[in-house]
Amino acid sequence: MEPLYEEYLANHGTIVKPYYWLSFSLDCSNCPYHIRTGEEARVPYTEFYQIFGFPYGPTYPPTKHLTFYELKTSSGSLVQKGHASSCTGNDTHPESMLFEVNGYFDSAIHNNDCIRHIILYSSNSPCNEANHCCISKMYTFLAKYPDITLSVYFSQLYHTEAEFPASPWNREALRSLASLWPQVTLSPISGGIWYSLLSNFVSGVQGASVFQPILTGRALADRHNAHEINAITGVKPYFTDVLLQAEENPDVKVQAALEGHPLNSVFPRQSFQVTSGQLQPNLTLDPRVPVVFVLVPYRDLPPIHVGPSPHKPRNIIRHLNVPQISFQETGDLRKSPIGMPVERVEITGQFASSKEADEKKKKKAKN
């Protein structure tokens, strides 16, 4: 295998040029070392907030992309952690770098057959736009390594709204990627996963400061992401709804903060399966607005699926050109129009034969 990257030993891990021809660029502050491993992968808290939107909520527009990753064995033991940053000079996304043929992940698994699970924590969901083809590369990678499972957690959806010309391609690509379940899972970052990121990938955050409250703006965005990815893919994501916990909290201050939050009218207080709100792209959050002080305990990530799942359907049938019928019309197909009298007649063989005999008698009488 002829690798595309070059890797160098650093003080607390390694630094990697994802493409050996990259050089220092004035247009990109991270060039040429866009992949960093070990403790070199930690980023300052201010950078984490600006890119991931924690704890106040999403920041728009997303100018940079950052993806943290963990490579694990089938038992869950950590083999390597790291991050990949987007290249603003060459307009390249992190997933495109990591999943490139003969790229870093390809080489890592080729050289270490203990790796069975890849976990991505991305600031944005992967896209499939022509300049990046992130999901296409991920799809090709997973086809090459069918024993590898992939979990993708994201802070916000990337170009899936109708105002973006590439949204149909991105949504269809996300559906295709999600169809590989249980080999692939797509979920929003939520609950204790935020604390896992602070603990493992952010520098200068220690002790009690790791378990800071999840603010209302962030929790509402996580709920919105869960609803949207479920609507796009049809697959229920792994999701911790801290707002639901806040609503069940008897603390009056918590209730008042949640009800008085300006985004509460944007995201109705319902489970993510039935939420219909839309987050405005130009929305900014004021750090002084009321917050929901909910401390979510650190939890392990959901169980890793290794091998075929007994719950996965063996045969999947996709129907094309399905007529667009609303749910109400579907439920009313067997109902008669309102006010129209209906008479039900059961026709039996005896009834039919007697009816035919009567008709013959009438014809004879006429003749």
DSSP string, 270-300: S-TTT------TT----TTS------PPP-P
Beta bridge partners of 188: 154
> What kind and span of H or E run contains 199?
helix 192-201
Rounded to the nearest 10°, the torsion over CA 77, 102, 96, 237 is -40
Q: CB-based contacts of 340: which residues, under 8 Å, 6+ apart?
A: none
Burial of 254 (0-12, 13-18, 19+ CB in 10 A): buried
Torsion angles phi and psi, residue 361, rounded to 5: -65, -40
Report yes or no: 93 and 261 within 8 Å, Cβ to Cβ. no
Cα 259 from Cα 265, distance rounded (Å): 9
Residue 226 CB contacts under 8 Å (≥ 6 apart), including other chains: 187, 188, 190, 237, 239, 241, 272
* CA separation for the pair 246, 223 (Å, rounded): 13
Catalytic residues: 95
SS3 36: strand
